[in-house]
Amino acid sequence: MRMRVQISAIYARWRSNRNAVGIVLLALFIGTLPLWLGTPYALSTMIFIGIYSIVTIGLCLLMGFAGQISLGQSAFFALGAYGSAILSAHFDWSPWLAMVAAAIITGGIAAVIGAPIFRLRGHYLAMGTLAFGAIIHVIAVEWRTYTGGSSGLPGIPRLTLAGTPIRSDMSYYYLVWFFVLIALIIALNIVNSRFGRALRAIRDSQEAAASLGIDVSRYKLQTLVVSAIFASVAGSLYTHYMIFISPAAAELDLSIRLVLMAAVGGMASIWGAPFGTAGVMLLTLGLREIVPLVTRHGSGEYQIIAYGILLVAIMIFMPEGLIAGARKAWERSRSRDTGPVAWLWRRAQRGGQRIRVLGQRGQ
């Protein structure tokens, strides 16, 4: 009994510091992962997973905690990418200063459009964000002087450290995932603060939140600005890694994939964002390799069908996302009534009872 109390106390302390423990474990995993990756292609994939994870973390704040639908997150991603690219390529700004300036500009644009767009709700809000994304895409195509039009903008300088351009994928991998850890820490602090509690109240009922004195418009606008800045930083990291940017960065397809990544990981889970991003990207790459082996004519249509079936299965069996589903499975496993842990505990109790009975007989 005393041992069980000690285990419960340790588990309670772990739960109170689990975000800090999670950050440390993730940092250790990220630091050692390149030792296991056998190819440059795998390392490049992890870089893209990190970049899109930053966007998805901001999207989880906006959709999962504030309850605001956004189908225009690719617009903020493109603003950061093009802003950083134009300032560094056309005006010879330092890439780091260009990244900061692009984030500030993107945040300002989000603040300007957020006030009118958040007057909408539900499907109308989704259409409003979709329209904003379409506007940014048109600007990227038509403003040829600075964006290069449909052909894109090449010749973007790389990010530098101590005056040396970052050319190796290994160095860029650590840089990107450093930003992912920073984004996670910021987002976790937000959701566990008074601000985060206000966002949950707004998500559940805007009217009820307003009746409690919460400034609904201000909280929603601030969350949009934070998520836009996250997307902008990710866009800058993307464009300085690719040293090229095109209007594809502002297409609706990217916005839908970002929402999908957030949904798979769990909208209301900050930790779900990187796992959902990794899950969707690895699923896409895996199907690209597996489907041609299964079918004689492994075309893209079969990959899309298999992709859709697997995603529907995830949404049916884990509607709250991978992290929430895994947590529930763990809680069921350690329940007193069900699960393998409970079964082992009952076996131990029976064994103890038998020992006591044998002891009494020996007396």
On whether residue 324 sits in a domain, the answer given is no
pLDDT digits (tens, 9 = 90+) for 14-39: 455 788 888 999 999 999 998 888 78
On whether residue 346 sits in a domain, the answer given is no
Span 137-166, mean pLDDT?
92
On whether residue 2 sits in a domain, the answer given is no
**pLDDT at residue 44 is higher than 60:** yes
Q: Nearest to residue 167, comparing CAs of 83, 240, 87, 84? A: 240
Q: What are phi and psi of 160, to 5 degrees?
A: -125, 155
On whether residue 279 sits in a domain, the answer given is no
Span 150-169, mean pLDDT?
92
Span 302-319, mean pLDDT?
74
Spell out a b/e string for 288-319, using b for 16 or more CB atoms within 10 Å of the CB, else e: eeebeeeeeebeeeebeebbeeebeebeeebe
**pLDDT at residue 242 is higher than 60:** yes
Q: Nearest to residue 138, comparing CAs of 225, 75, 71, 55? A: 75
Percent of the chain with pLDDT over 90: 55
249 vs 231: CA distance, rounded Å: 11
Span 321-330, mean pLDDT?
71
Residue 5 banded pLDDT, cuts 50, 70, 90: very low
**pLDDT at residue 9 is higher than 80:** no
Residue 338 banded pLDDT, cuts 50, 70, 90: low
Q: What are phi and psi of 93, to 5 degrees?
A: -75, 155
Q: What are phi and psi of 296, to 5 degrees?
A: -65, -40
Q: What predicted TM-score, i.e. pTM, was given to this entire model?
A: 0.85
On whether residue 212 sits in a domain, the answer given is yes
Q: What are phi and psi of 120, to 5 degrees?
A: -90, 160
Residue ranges making up the domain that contains 130: 21-263
Long-range pairs, 276-280, Cβ under 8 A, ≥24: 276/56, 276/321, 276/322, 277/49, 277/52, 277/53, 277/56, 278/49, 278/53, 279/314, 279/322, 280/311
Spell out a b/e string for 189-209, using b for 16 or more CB atoms within 10 Å of the CB, else e: ebbeeeebebbebbbeebeeb
On whether residue 120 sits in a domain, the answer given is yes
Q: Note the pLDDT of residue 267.
A: 87
**pLDDT at residue 239 is higher than 80:** yes
| Identity at 51, one-letter amino acid code | I
More confident residue, 68 or 324: 68
Q: Record the tokens describing residue 72, joined without a space.
A: 């225009």
Cα 63 to chain centroid distance, Å, stands at 12
Q: Where are the alpha helices (DSSP H) in the chain?
A: 2-16, 18-36, 40-59, 73-89, 95-117, 122-142, 144-147, 169-191, 194-204, 206-211, 216-242, 252-265, 272-294, 300-317, 322-333, 340-362
Instruction: Calculate the alpha carbon distances from 88 to 82, 83, 101, 108 in Å.
Output: 10, 9, 11, 20
pLDDT digits (tens, 9 = 90+) for 173-199: 999 999 999 999 999 999 999 999 999
176 vs 159: CA distance, rounded Å: 11
Q: How many domains does the chain have?
A: 1
Q: Nearest to residue 61, comparing CAs of 189, 232, 177? A: 189
On whether residue 323 sits in a domain, the answer given is no
Q: Which DSSP state fits 158?
A: P
200 vs 234: CA distance, rounded Å: 26
Average pLDDT, the chain: 84
Q: Nearest to residue 231, comparing CAs of 341, 133, 302, 134? A: 133
CATH number at residue 25: 1.10.3470
> Is residue 221 within 8 Å of 22, Cβ to Cβ?
no
Q: Note the pLDDT of residue 57.
A: 96
On whether residue 164 sits in a domain, the answer given is yes
